[in-house]
Every structure is written in structure tokens, then in C-alpha cells.
Amino acid sequence: MPKTARGHRLSDVHEAPLAHDETGRLMALDDLHLLESSPERRFDRVAQLAARLTRSPIGLMTLVAETRVFFKSACGASAAGVVLGEPHRSSWFCSHVVGTGVPLLVADARADARFDRLAVVNAVPPVLAYAGVPVRAPGGEHVGALAVMSLEPREYSDAEVGALGELARLLEAELSSIPHMALDALTGALNARTFIRLGNRLLELADSRSEPVSLLRLDIRGTSAINGRLGYESGDTALAETAHLLGSTVRGSDLVGRIGPDEFAVLLLDAAGEEARAIADRLTAATAARNAASDHRFDLAFDVALVEHRPSDRADLDGELLAATLSA
């Protein structure tokens, strides 16, 4: 049995299984028209959030084609010094997720006969731990995976895998022809239902690790006046621009939702005190810069409330939003 340069014994090659309807799966993947496109920011935000939630250096969104794996997002890989390349479908981690349709957990790839031959496992630095969950096409076919990777051996908890599953639903909404099932159609932010459901899951995970979480609630001032003076199209523009300001000033791993007609909320993970206030200050500065430009028909102004969630509090995002309203 051959060995790596480090002296680890290599197992025989173990190919990933094919899906029970591989032909139909590949047709569904082709219908998405994503294989030859570049990595996309809409996938990056979810991959970044997955990495932050699991304390992993790398977050991935992959699509598994007939012969190779495509990376639609590979957040943190370059910073970690990991070269992913263009892995073959038969041996890559995510291929097993797609073939079986269930999550895959690998605590130490060097000790797993399915993966100990992979180049990334035997590189410097090595990818050693992996957790991935299926991503489905609109018809339910497993076309890819949302995954996280670590450079050290580690176990991923059931809570972390559950959170990855919730995040995978966001990717599926992006792939759907009706993304407003999870996203607000006008602004692209999470809709209220998805924000509450996913936010509660993330609060529970943060509480289990005693991590701080803050909630930023934002109400747009004067939307009725904008609608009355300039028309509803300008009111829609105010909403879309607010979502853009939030997306460009909060961190890529924060959760942004439209929770009411002119209300937004941001769940700031692993942020409290000065760090949370600094994020709110960035939003204030970005809004001032936007208003200072001369090509706008109206200024944007907000009522902002910031509350801190404590691990001893119940994970109830509805209650947190009410507290933010009362503190505004």
C-alpha cells in the first residue's frame, strides 16, 4: 500500500456513488446554466455565513457535474493557502453528498479511506475535516453541496449540521424560479418568515457556544411622504437602496431581512458591544455618503435600534425584535 510524503498509508481508490437518478440529476443541473459562469456574490454570502457559524476557515458552494466539481463559492480557501483546483467528480467530498443525498461528516480525511488520496488532503496546508449538506435544484434533484472545511481534525456538531441545512435552503431559493419563497422579491433580503426561522436556529447555535449576538433593527423614515410626493416607484427605490446599504456595510456573514413594509433587521453574529456599534456606525456613515451625492431625488433616514442577545435569554427572535422596537 503506497504512502504519502508524511508517511500516511493510502487506501485504495473509493469512487463516490452516483445518484439513483443520475441522468435526471445532470439534466436538472444543466437547466440551471451555472456550470460555466464565474463564482457569484449571492452564493458567497451564504458560504461566508456557513464558515463563521461553524468556526471553519473555508466555506464552499459546489455543483457536481458528470466529470468534475465546480466551485460557485470558495470563501476563505485562498486566504488559508488551499488550492482546490478542478477535482474529479468520482472522488471529491461533495460528490458523496450528491450521490447519497445526505450530509457528509469527515473528522480526519487522512483516516478515511474515501479521501486519503485527495490532493488537498496531502497538500500543505492540508484539508482534514469536512461537513457538507445537499443543495437541491427546483425539482428536488441533488445538484451540489454547501460545505465547510477545516485544516485541523475536528468533529462537527449536530447543531452545526442543522444550521448548514437551513443555509442550504437559502441557496436553493437562489436557484429557484420563485426565490421569494425565502427572499423578499423587491430587495433581495430574506423575507420575514425566513429571517425569523433561520435567525432562531442561529441564536440557538450561538447560545450553545456562549457567543454574543446583537440585533440591529432599522425603520425607514418618511416612506409615506416619498410615496405621496414622488410616487410608489420611488418608495420601492428607497427600500431597494436601504437593502443595498445594509448589504454593503454589514459583514458578509450577517443575516439581513426585510421584516415589515419599511423595516429591516440584521442579526450580527459573534458581535456585541463596541463591535456591534461599529457596524451600526458604518451604516450611518454610508447613508450620509449616499445622501451627499447629488443624483438622488430624496434622502434616506432611519430610526435604528441595537439590542444585545445574551446566551441566558430564550432564543426568540420575535421577542428580540419587539425589544428592539421598544428601545428605539
Q: Which residue has the cell 456599534?
A: 277
Residue 74: its pLDDT value, please?
95
Residue 2: its pLDDT value, please?
47
pLDDT in tens, 17-26: 999 999 999 9
Whether 326 and 281 have beta carbons less than 8 Å apart is answered as: no
- Residues 184-193 have a mean pLDDT of 91
- Residues 71-99 have a mean pLDDT of 95
Residue 327: its pLDDT value, please?
56
Domains and CATH numbers, the chain: 22-177 (3.30.450.40), 192-327 (3.30.70.270)
12: pLDDT strictly greater than 80? no
27: pLDDT strictly greater than 80? yes
295: pLDDT strictly greater than 80? no
One-letter amino acid at 138 equals P
Helix residue ranges per DSSP H, 209-272? 223-230, 232-249
6: pLDDT strictly greater than 70? no
**pLDDT band of 5, cuts 50, 70, 90:** very low
Residue 236: its pLDDT value, please?
94
pLDDT in tens, 108-125: 999 999 999 999 999 999
**Which of 44-58, 73-87, 178-192 shows the lowest per-residue confidence on average (mean pLDDT)?**
178-192
Greater confidence (140 vs 38) lies with 140
Mean of pLDDT over the chain: 89
